[in-house]
Structure 1
């Protein structure tokens, strides 16, 4: 007999004059077994204020956004890390969008409860209400965050209300038979705790019917007391069965798999035959493999067999596949699925027939400025695709850039990547140092300073400078810095002195993106790319040939004379 899994039931009831005018939203997500073990089941409720013209949009978006993003976080993140990062990102988006709305805003209270294993995790913002019914005990789990203004109660610490948020978090064990009630501030002043218990217990087997009883009783009580009864929202969740034991850390489906042994051409693993060894480093092994069943050629990346289980890189390895899966771009290498279940820790990428940017530059010393700028702009689009997902690559240099047989650029090797809020800058620095700093790494990595998108901008600009000039922008490479006083030795060497084709505007854009001080670089990658595209367009315009007849005035008049002479000869012959 298989082990028991977490099982739950739920019911809902909503009272509103018209569905399009509702300001509350609620949902329960019970995922498939894989995500149930890693992420758990989730119940969410949100509520906006009556005087908000964007109330419906705010309520719906907060619930849908939380559920979609929570289940998209890496499996090896714990519940608290995943939910808090999603809520902070969602809050930032709601707050920024509210600044663009003339009336109202994307502001709402929200309570989300994640049930994983034998534990419930509550995340709460604002004044939505969460209660637990255990036996005859009816207990409020959430705290009311409200402010009284002019006789009206408004939620405080709500989602989208400020650029930063303070999230209430609590976790507690759950028992079989526990019932959780999610509702809104509108019910206050209607039902007593004993009435909630009675109405729910009257027939707890049908939770939808129980929610209907609660809604009907709340409406009747509100009307009898002269309260507004136009908006009531009830959601009940019952724990039907608990798993036999608390699941191990999230991501155990991959994290507990053994590291593959050392492989050589001809060896087979999980139905994959090794064709060639592409790379062996202290941290990883990269192989070109062929799926025996489908005949597809792919690239397998696995941790080095020498790594211990507590190694920083190995802990980070689980994130790499998730990063590549999240980024959909023709300029970023694709993740591939194996035709068989994995028995070892690795991931598969599409095999690209091509060469690194280092090899391309060596084989094309006479490449034009237009060709080189085209490669630079493709690489910029790849980095933008990562940044749009709040991912830092952290190791952009010519050896990590592939150019396929059609001239398309692909960014590879995510061994140092991380999400922008994925730990402290010290964690990012330690990881990059283990993987290895390059001569294109931004100075802040060597100097223990904070890092961000503009750190990737520096590495990208350094790679572009190298491609355009064949040299580095500074005599002292940033990865050799020992103190902040060494920054004074970083004196920019103009790209125009090394390649006269580089325009003044392009040289100035490179200089700014390569500023040793991170705060002085371009604020956004898009600004830098716009500066790169302008000289590219200008160069193409100059190379475009004009009408042939105007390019040489001497040839033009010679042509006119020849035509007149021909007409004169014809006139004599036709006499």
Structure 2
């Protein structure tokens, strides 16, 4: 990654830093290091701070450079998308755990699934400077140092195990295990502190004295200082990629502008809002929806004039920590996903004084409302809606997230016909259940009629769980009922689920393809292993069922309409009895 220019930020009342960065492939054909930083504008400068990150790919992997680039880019993007109500530690831990889960999943899907040293693995160090505190996060053998009063102090320890002379292996790294173990520490900072983030290609070939002297010589040009240190390490025989970042704290905020540590529970829940009320820079237009769990309002941003939707937590649940965690997680998820088929969260432009979320306003109706207005949609329309939902789900699944509560009330169709997924309260992010016991112990958060049956058995969800929910919605649009009636919600054991029987679509007057039942039956099968692998495969099958399904004959009447089958059977039996009696 190209080095950045020397940067200064802020006024005297703000955190001010100077930056110097340098990265070089050295004697290797490819630079597997990646580095970056983000200095946001207010209000995020005060609420989130300044973030610096460095990742080092491992030489045994041909895809490690992708891992290091992904780790840094995802960290810098996702950290600033987390809720201002989370602490720095909570935000970064969640972001890195999600990134780790994604990297590990890519390796497991690839050709080196049994050789992690050739997979999507990298070392990682990050520094978040927020007000008067430095937050350090570290996994692997990149290093963070602090230069204070002429002394260079290492602040991290290498996660490397030595097994012999010149032989070692990484014990911890991003992507190497499904769960992440990361070192964290918080340090008070002083004006004049200088932090160094370096890969082993630098610190193994540039000693502390040399780095201190280079910095002292070029104290007013940290960019040049970083370049001199990298050049010196390369001249001393470095045979690896070389990356160095220098961050000097030039001034700190005033005491009264100390950290805005809005941890969970410190931001109060808003009161019930009324039309024409002014609230945190918004003007409330009208309530849109109210339930036992949240209140939703249409509002106008007084600065930009944009129409937005504000979602506030229920006052009845304001002391429920698990519920508030999910509420905060919902906005972060919306900020992470960039898809035309997923509701978009609005980036905050000013300090928040209450706990709430802001998202785009979608002018339209829910799919549940649409289904009332269109009780007998044609197959092509249903296919189009399913394909859009599948694309929205794909955006979740690519980030190793499961929606878990897909239902008609959580889908919006706007004036252009675009379908958007709008609710993420039950979404599970891979990697977070290991660090958050509340999420791991969550009850089933989805709606019974649409939740995959494995959830009722206490099993974890998979992509196929979202396929089940999508298939039930598709079936309901076509048939006006559910494929298992009310039976699925009552089937809480494996034996009960095995007794469930799919109800064929019927409706011969609509002339639906005979194979359509086979596609839907497979997609919403009680056994997840018998479903389609992902929503895209199901959506494709609605148009292209495959030869096995096209070659099947007409569905037996017993499966199409069991009641009619037994009525005809009983009538035939009664007629036979009458004939026999007449002959007697």
TM over 0.5, yes or no? Answer: yes
Q: Choose from 259, 268, 287 the match for 1:247.
A: 259
Choose 519-528 or 148-157, whichever is displaced more: 148-157
Distance of 1:189 and 1:299 partners within structure 2: 53
**Higher RCO, 1 vs 2 (CA within 8 Å, ≥6 residues apart):** 2
Distance of 2:281 and 2:487 partners within structure 1: 45
Aligned counterpart, 2:147: 133
Aligned counterpart, 2:421: 411
CA contact under 8 A between 1:437 and 1:479: conserved in structure 2?
no
Distance of 1:294 and 1:145 partners within structure 2: 48
Per the normalisation by structure 1, the TM-score is 0.74
Task: Report the CA distance between 1:466 and its aligned residue.
Answer: 1.6
- 1:214-269 CA-to-partner distances (Å, cap 9, x unmatched) read 4565456x3xxxx45786544333333445486354578x9725413253x56565
Task: Report the CA distance between 1:283 and its aligned residue.
Answer: 1.4
CA contact under 8 A between 1:44 and 1:112: conserved in structure 2?
yes
Q: Choose from 181, 193, 197 the match for 1:178.
A: 193
Structure 2 gap ranges (5+): 1-10, 547-584
2:519 aligned with 1:509: yes
Question: How many residues are treated as equivalent by the alignment?
Answer: 529
Choose 174-183 or 400-409, whichever is displaced more: 400-409
Task: Report the CA distance between 1:169 and its aligned residue.
Answer: 0.9
Aligned counterpart, 1:370: 380
CA contact under 8 A between 2:82 and 2:91: conserved in structure 1?
no
Call closer, same or farther: CA 1:381–1:276 in 2, change over 3 Å. Answer: same
Distance of 1:466 and 1:15 partners within structure 2: 58
Task: Report the CA distance between 1:208 and its aligned residue.
Answer: 4.0
2:76 aligned with 1:67: yes
Distance of 2:508 and 2:321 partners within structure 1: 43
Aligned counterpart, 1:30: 39
Larger radius of gyration between Structure 1 and Structure 2:
1
- 1:292-313 CA-to-partner distances (Å, cap 9, x unmatched) read 8988665443323433243533
Distance of 1:342 and 1:4 partners within structure 2: 20
Structure 1 gap ranges (5+): 537-575
Task: Report the CA distance between 1:108 and its aligned residue.
Answer: 4.2
Call closer, same or farther: CA 1:76–1:508 in 2, change over 3 Å. Answer: farther
2:497 aligned with 1:487: yes
Call closer, same or farther: CA 1:405–1:519 in 2, change over 3 Å. Answer: same
Choose 459-468 or 128-137, whichever is displaced more: 128-137
Distance of 2:24 and 2:367 partners within structure 1: 62
| 1:144-163 to 2 correspondences below 5 Å | 144-145=158-159, 156-157=170-171, 162=176
Task: Report the CA distance between 1:9 and its aligned residue.
Answer: 2.8
| 1:271-290 to 2 correspondences below 5 Å | 276-289=286-299
SS in 1 for 2:317: coil
> What do you get for the CA RMSD once the two structures are aligned?
4.6
Choose 337-346 or 281-290, whichever is displaced more: 337-346
- 1:147-177 CA-to-partner distances (Å, cap 9, x unmatched) read 7799865653575774647544131413314
- 1:402-447 CA-to-partner distances (Å, cap 9, x unmatched) read 44455443433444344344436985697675x7734222234444
Distance of 1:336 and 1:67 partners within structure 2: 17
| 1:14-25 to 2 correspondences below 5 Å | 22-25=31-34
SS in 2 for 1:10: strand
Aligned counterpart, 1:566: none
CA contact under 8 A between 1:286 and 1:299: conserved in structure 2?
yes
Call closer, same or farther: CA 1:384–1:437 in 2, change over 3 Å. Answer: same
Distance of 2:301 and 2:228 partners within structure 1: 58
Task: Report the CA distance between 1:319 and its aligned residue.
Answer: 3.0
Distance of 1:458 and 1:287 partners within structure 2: 31
Distance of 1:342 and 1:234 partners within structure 2: 36
Aligned counterpart, 1:387: 397
- 1:489-538 CA-to-partner distances (Å, cap 9, x unmatched) read 433223347887443432222222222233443222222111123269xx
2:192 aligned with 1:142: no
Q: Choose from 84, 87, 90 the match for 2:96.
A: 84
CA contact under 8 A between 1:97 and 1:105: conserved in structure 2?
no
Task: Report the CA distance between 1:88 and its aligned residue.
Answer: 0.3
SS in 1 for 2:543: helix
- 1:21-64 CA-to-partner distances (Å, cap 9, x unmatched) read 54544444333343334443233334446687778766656544
Distance of 2:393 and 2:520 partners within structure 1: 16
Aligned counterpart, 1:10: 19
2:183 aligned with 1:169: yes
Call closer, same or farther: CA 1:312–1:468 in 2, change over 3 Å. Answer: same
